[in-house]
Amino acid sequence: MYMYAEISIPILVFIRNGLIYDRNKSEEYGGNFVSKERNNRNFKLKNTNIGKGQAKSKSAKSSKPKANRRPQRPTKPSVKVSFLGGLNEIGKNITLIECEGDMIIIDCGMAFPDGDMLGVDLVIPDFTYIEQNFDKVKGIVLTHGHEDHIGGLPYLLSLVNIPIYGTPLTLGLVGNKLKEHSLFNKAKLNVVNAGDTIRLGCMEVKFIHVNHSIPDAVAFAIRTPAGTLVHTGDFKIDCTPILGDAIDFSSFAQAGDEGVLALLAESTNASRPGFTRTERLVSDSLNMLFNNAANYRIIIATFASNVNRVQQIIDCAAKYGRKVAFSGRSMVNYMDVAKKLGYLNVPDNILIDLDMLDKYPREQIVLVTTGSQGEPMSALSRMAYSDHRKVVVGEGDFIIISANPIPGNEKTVGNVVDELLKRGCKVIYESMYDVHVSGHACQEELKIIHRLVRPKFFIPVHGEQKHLRKHADLAEFLGMERKNIFIGDVGSTVEINEDYMKEIAPVPAGKVFVDGLGVGDVGSIVLRDRKHLGQDGLIIIVASLDVYDGHVISGPDVVSRGFVYVRESEQLLEEVRKLALDILEDCADNNIHEWGIIKNRIKDEISKLIAQRTRRAPMILPILQEV
Q: Give 53 or 312, the one with higher predicted confidence.
A: 312
CA–CA distance, 413 with 384 (Å, rounded to integer): 11
Per-residue pLDDT at 476 exceeds 60: yes
Q: H-helix or E-strand containing 604? A: helix 595-614
Q: How much is the mean pLDDT over the chain?
A: 82
The values of phi and psi at residue 532, to 5°, are -60, -45
Asked whether residue 488 is marked as a ligand-binding residue, the answer is no
Q: How many CB atoms lie within 10 A of CB 354?
A: 17
Residue 154's pLDDT is what? 92
* Strand, helix or coil for residue 558: strand
Kind of pairing between the strands at 426-429 and 397-401: parallel
CB 78 within 8 A of CB 495: yes
CB 132 within 8 A of CB 103: no
Residue 440 is a catalytic residue = yes
**Confidence bin at 53 (pLDDT 50/70/90):** very low
Asked whether residue 304 is marked as a ligand-binding residue, the answer is yes
Asked whether residue 119 is marked as a ligand-binding residue, the answer is yes
Asked whether residue 257 is marked as a ligand-binding residue, the answer is no
Percent of the chain with pLDDT over 90: 48
Asked whether residue 450 is marked as a ligand-binding residue, the answer is no
Asked whether residue 181 is marked as a ligand-binding residue, the answer is no
What DSSP assignment string belongs to 115-143?
A: TTSTT--EEEE--HHHHHTGGGEEEEE-S
Which residues fall within 8 angstroms of residue 329, CB to CB, at 6 or more apart?
Answer: 370
CA atoms within 13 A on the CB side of 192: 28
Kind of pairing between the strands at 262-266 and 218-224: unpaired
Q: H-helix or E-strand containing 593? A: none
Query: Of 45-54, 271-280, 534-543, which gets the smallest average pLDDT?
Result: 45-54
Helices H / strands E in the chain, number of each: 15, 27
State the SS3 of 280-345: HHHHHHHHHHHHHCCCCEEEEECCCCCHHHHHHHHHHHHHCCCEEEEECHHHHHHHHHHHHCCCCC
Per-residue pLDDT at 526 exceeds 80: no
Strand order in the sheet with 189-191: 189-191, 164-166, 137-141, 102-106, 94-99, 79-85, 493-496, 501-504
pTM of the complete model: 0.75
Strand order in the sheet with 227-231: 197-200, 203-209, 218-224, 227-231, 262-266, 457-461
Per-residue pLDDT at 16 exceeds 60: no
Residue 496's pLDDT is what? 96
Please, which residues bridge with residue 293 across strands?
none
**Confidence bin at 535 (pLDDT 50/70/90):** low
Residue 65's pLDDT is what? 47
CA–CA distance, 480 with 470 (Å, rounded to integer): 14
**Confidence bin at 143 (pLDDT 50/70/90):** very high
Asked whether residue 439 is marked as a ligand-binding residue, the answer is yes
Closest of 493, 568, 169, 462 to residue 337, by C-alpha: 169
Q: H-helix or E-strand containing 584? A: helix 570-589
Residue 56's pLDDT is what? 38
Task: Give, as one character, the DSSP assignment of residue 178.
Answer: H
**Confidence bin at 534 (pLDDT 50/70/90):** low
Q: Give 360 or 598, the one with higher predicted confidence.
A: 360
CB 129 within 8 A of CB 505: no
Asked whether residue 114 is marked as a ligand-binding residue, the answer is no
User: CA 157, 163, 166, 169 torsion: positive or negative?
Assistant: positive
CA–CA distance, 26 with 320 (Å, rounded to integer): 58
Q: Give 39 or 203, the one with higher predicted confidence.
A: 203
CA–CA distance, 404 with 277 (Å, rounded to integer): 14
Closest of 529, 536, 540, 558 to residue 617, by C-alpha: 536
Q: H-helix or E-strand containing 559? A: strand 552-561
Q: Give 574 or 73, the one with higher predicted confidence.
A: 574
Per-residue pLDDT at 225 exceeds 90: yes
**Confidence bin at 622 (pLDDT 50/70/90):** confident
CA–CA distance, 280 with 445 (Å, rounded to integer): 18
CA 392 from centre of chain: 33
Closest of 498, 504, 497, 460 to residue 482, by C-alpha: 460
Per-residue pLDDT at 627 exceeds 80: no
Asked whether residue 515 is marked as a ligand-binding residue, the answer is yes
E strand segments, 44-196 = 79-85, 94-99, 102-106, 122-125, 137-141, 164-166, 189-191
Asked whether residue 499 is marked as a ligand-binding residue, the answer is no
What DSSP assignment string belongs to 467-512?
A: HHHHHHHHHHHTT--GGGB----TT-EEEE-SS-EEEEPPPS--EE
CA–CA distance, 79 with 496 (Å, rounded to integer): 5
Asked whether residue 471 is marked as a ligand-binding residue, the answer is no
Per-residue pLDDT at 428 exceeds 80: yes
CA–CA distance, 429 with 410 (Å, rounded to integer): 12
Per-residue pLDDT at 356 exceeds 50: yes
CA–CA distance, 32 with 549 (Å, rounded to integer): 91
Which residues fall within 8 angstroms of residue 587, CB to CB, at 6 or more apart?
Answer: 550, 593, 597, 598, 601
**Confidence bin at 72 (pLDDT 50/70/90):** low
The values of phi and psi at residue 560, to 5°, are -110, 130
CA 502 from centre of chain: 26
Residue 98's pLDDT is what? 97
pLDDT digit string, tens, across residues 437-473: 888 999 999 999 999 999 999 999 999 999 999 999 9
Percent of the chain with pLDDT over 70: 82
Asked whether residue 62 is marked as a ligand-binding residue, the answer is no
Residue 89 is a catalytic residue = no
**Which residue out of 89, 266, 375, 419 is catalytically annotated?**
266
**Which residue out of 209, 440, 450, 467 is catalytically annotated?**
440
CB 515 within 8 A of CB 121: yes
